[in-house]
A and B are shown apart, each in its own frame.
Chain A
Amino acid sequence: MENVTLQVILAQLINGIAIGSIYGLLTTGLNLLLVVCGVWHYAYPYVVVFSMYLAWLVHRNTGNIALTLLTAFIAGIAISLITEPLFRPLSKKSEGAPIGTFILSTGILVILADLMNNVFIRLGFTAGSVVGFPQIAGNSLIQFGLSSLTYGQAIMVIGTVISVALLFYLLYRTKLGKSFRAVSQDRVAAQLLGIPTLKTRLNAFTVAGVLGGMSSVFLIIALAQASATISDYLAIKVFAIALFAGVGNLPGGLICGLFFGVFESFLVSFLPGESGAVWGNAIAFILILATVLFRPRGIFGSRV
């Protein structure tokens, strides 16, 4: 019996790290856009899921898995860069993130959600609003009792952990990361140091795009499906995690993302029966709400 519990714990831990890494990557992308570019990009997770839809189209026409994943990755970056000029005039002048960027982002959200929910069906691409991918690397790598670790999960956990490590390296060891942090702490001081505003801005949108692209690849492997509902869920979650960690706090968002993935995963498995999935979310959000109530600047404080 104890053995079984241990296996479940291990399986949930792996699962939690995997999903938590995605939260972490997305929260970091959101924060980067916020602090470096002054853009409140609420629709950012929608871009990620929409990239999955584009990848699905490629898969539908070619059946090539590698090409499908590549499309998801490239689409994430491309959409991010295409939308950058739209935000530029709105976020140019003031400090912080002007409300206009949030409104524009919401507009992008509506368009993307409609594309996923309606247009894909109208054009006859899909029958319903959920698109499915084949199970990638679904064979089990290690079997422990009731649960198993598939190759896909292993790839994802290793991939996300490496991405998170690279992200920390980028932020703390490279000139690019240091200029991101400098701009986030004091935009004017960063300008005085000669950090180029537009180049840094484009770089931040690119990095956010890369993080989004990687997340959509990992989500295809993890979920083997995409739907607009997933983007609703991700958007609210990532937004809430950013608030929980402290808005704009780059390492804080990354850490809290990981924490919430694992936390949720354990809640789901230890709460009885079907209620796990429902209450898991509720408890996570209550925790976030309580944090914001008592520590309005989040656990780690705003802006790092």
Chain B
Amino acid sequence: MEKTENILKINNVSVDYGFLRAVNNASLDVNTGEIVVLLGANGSGKSSLLKAILGLNKASNGSVQFLGKDITHVPTDKIVASGICLIPEGRGILPLMTVMENLELGAYYLKNDFKKYLEDVYQLFPILRERGKQMAGSLSGGEQQMLSIGRGMMSAPKLMMLDEPSLGLSPVLVNDIFQVINHLREAGHTILLAEQNARKALQIADRGYLFEKGDIVLSGLVKEIIDDPKIKDAYLGGG
């Protein structure tokens, strides 16, 4: 990665749920064209941080900068409009709307060029073209995940955030999803990925951050951290 233009910068962000601190003074950054992975067990604060970036969780302190602008207190819809999309855990598809309607709503802020992005989505996920008129809720789990990612692509985001995209999928589909993520990067997307499947995630990521109970305990280039005993012990089943 030669071009290191910063796209997202998080400074000392904390997220509290009542008395419970979910994220404790987290700082991280994402550069254009990278895949950055957030690793950590369930409840370690990855999702809370992703939601805080979009303003769905209020940050108790710290700031979030996107493309050089402070977005810490900007409403969610404005942040989405400015080019961040989150493909949420559990996919967040609209079950009683058709596949096509879901994709259309992905392009909520696009003024034109809608068709061009639709073609990109269909190229990556041909099955969505066939399923266009079907209710999204009737799709299989893997197809729903594809729809969720496709819908994210429809907004032509400058930063794609994926929260546990491999959760609940069969091993074959997990491979497919990671291939898709790799493909997205090749197509020019910048990706921030929260994932429990560390082995897979580290294969495609450039850099990683390891969360433990809300703290970032390790960070760096994948090749630097992959041999760290913390990663090995906890998530790769080594040691």
Residues of A within 8 A of B (CB): 175, 178-179, 181-182, 185-186, 188-197, 199, 303-304
Contact of B92 among A175, A192, A196, A304 (CB under 8 A): A192
Most buried by B among A178, A192, A196, A304: A192
CB of B163, distance to nearest CB on chain A (Å): 10
Q: Which chain A residues border B85 with CB–CB below 8 Å?
A: 192
Q: Which chain B residues border A188 with CB–CB below 8 Å?
A: 56, 88, 92
With A188-B56, A191-B56 as known contacts, state yes or no: A304 contacts B88, CB within 8 Å.
Answer: no
5 closest A-B pairs by beta carbon, nearest first, are A194-B80, A189-B92, A196-B77, A185-B94, A194-B77
For B136, the closest partner residue in chain A by CB is: A185
CB of A252, distance to nearest CB on chain B (Å): 11
Q: Please, how many angstroms separate the alpha-carbon atoms of A95 and B109 in the complex?
A: 25
Q: Please, how many angstroms separate the alpha-carbon atoms of A179 and B104 in the complex?
A: 11
Q: Please, how many angstroms separate the alpha-carbon atoms of A194 and B81 in the complex?
A: 6
**B29-37, B62-70, B95-103 - interface stretch:** B95-103
Is B218 an interface residue when CB atoms closer than 8 A count as contact? Answer: no
Most buried by A among B56, B75, B76, B88: B76
Q: Please, how many angstroms separate the alpha-carbon atoms of A196 and B55 in the complex?
A: 13
Q: Please, how many angstroms separate the alpha-carbon atoms of A195 and B96 in the complex?
A: 17
Is B155 an interface residue when CB atoms closer than 8 A count as contact? Answer: yes
With A185-B95, A304-B96 as known contacts, state yes or no: A193 contacts B88, CB within 8 Å.
Answer: no
Is B22 an interface residue when CB atoms closer than 8 A count as contact? Answer: no
A181 adjacent to B76 (CB under 8 Å): no
Is B86 an interface residue when CB atoms closer than 8 A count as contact? Answer: yes
B108 adjacent to A194 (CB under 8 Å): yes
With A178-B97, A192-B86, A194-B155 as known contacts, state yes or no: A186 contacts B92, CB within 8 Å.
Answer: yes
CB of B47, distance to nearest CB on chain A (Å): 12
A181 adjacent to B94 (CB under 8 Å): yes
Q: Which chain B residues border A190 with CB–CB below 8 Å?
A: 94
B77 adjacent to A182 (CB under 8 Å): no
Chain A proximity mask over B104-126: 1 for CB below 8 Å, otherwise 0: 11101100000000000000000
For B93, the closest partner residue in chain A by CB is: A189
Q: Please, how many angstroms separate the alpha-carbon atoms of A130 and B97 in the complex?
A: 45
For A249, the closest partner residue in chain B by CB is: B96
Is B189 an interface residue when CB atoms closer than 8 A count as contact? Answer: no
Is B54 an interface residue when CB atoms closer than 8 A count as contact? Answer: yes
**Main secondary structure on chain A at its contact with chain B?**
helix
B92 adjacent to A178 (CB under 8 Å): no
Instruction: Tell me the count of chain B residues lying within 8 A, CB to CB, of chain A.
Output: 24
B80 adjacent to A192 (CB under 8 Å): yes
Q: Which chain A residues border B106 with CB–CB below 8 Å?
A: 193
Q: Which chain B residues border A303 with CB–CB below 8 Å?
A: 96
Is B9 an interface residue when CB atoms closer than 8 A count as contact? Answer: no
Q: Which chain A residues border B81 with CB–CB below 8 Å?
A: 194
Most buried by B among A178, A189, A190: A189
Most buried by B among A193, A195, A199: A193
CB of B76, distance to nearest CB on chain A (Å): 5
A193 adjacent to B56 (CB under 8 Å): no
Is B158 an interface residue when CB atoms closer than 8 A count as contact? Answer: no
CB of A195, distance to nearest CB on chain B (Å): 6
Q: Please, how many angstroms separate the alpha-carbon atoms of A197 and B55 in the complex?
A: 13
Contact of B80 among A175, A185, A193, A199 (CB under 8 A): A193
Q: Please, how many angstroms separate the alpha-carbon atoms of A191 and B94 in the complex?
A: 12
With A185-B94, A189-B93 as known contacts, state yes or no: A178 contacts B76, CB within 8 Å.
Answer: no
A178 adjacent to B86 (CB under 8 Å): no
Is B207 an interface residue when CB atoms closer than 8 A count as contact? Answer: no
B105 adjacent to A191 (CB under 8 Å): no
Could you show 13 A-B contacts with beta carbons less than 8 Å apart?
A179-B105, A181-B94, A185-B94, A186-B92, A188-B88, A188-B92, A189-B92, A189-B94, A194-B108, A194-B109, A196-B77, A197-B76, A197-B77
Q: Which chain B residues border A189 with CB–CB below 8 Å?
A: 88, 92-94
Q: Please, how many angstroms separate the alpha-carbon atoms of A195 and B75 in the complex?
A: 11
Q: Please, how many angstroms separate the alpha-carbon atoms of A196 and B106 in the complex?
A: 13
Q: Please, how many angstroms separate the alpha-carbon atoms of A179 and B85 in the complex?
A: 17
Most buried by B among A175, A196, A303: A196
CB of A161, distance to nearest CB on chain B (Å): 25
CB of A183, distance to nearest CB on chain B (Å): 10
Contact of B77 among A181, A186, A195 (CB under 8 A): A195
Q: Which chain B residues border A193 with CB–CB below 8 Å?
A: 80, 105-106, 108, 151, 155
- Could you list 15 further interchain pairs (A-B, Cβ under 8 angstroms) beyond the known A179-B108, A303-B96? A181-B96, A182-B94, A185-B95, A186-B92, A186-B95, A189-B92, A189-B94, A190-B94, A191-B77, A192-B54, A192-B76, A193-B80, A193-B106, A194-B109, A196-B75
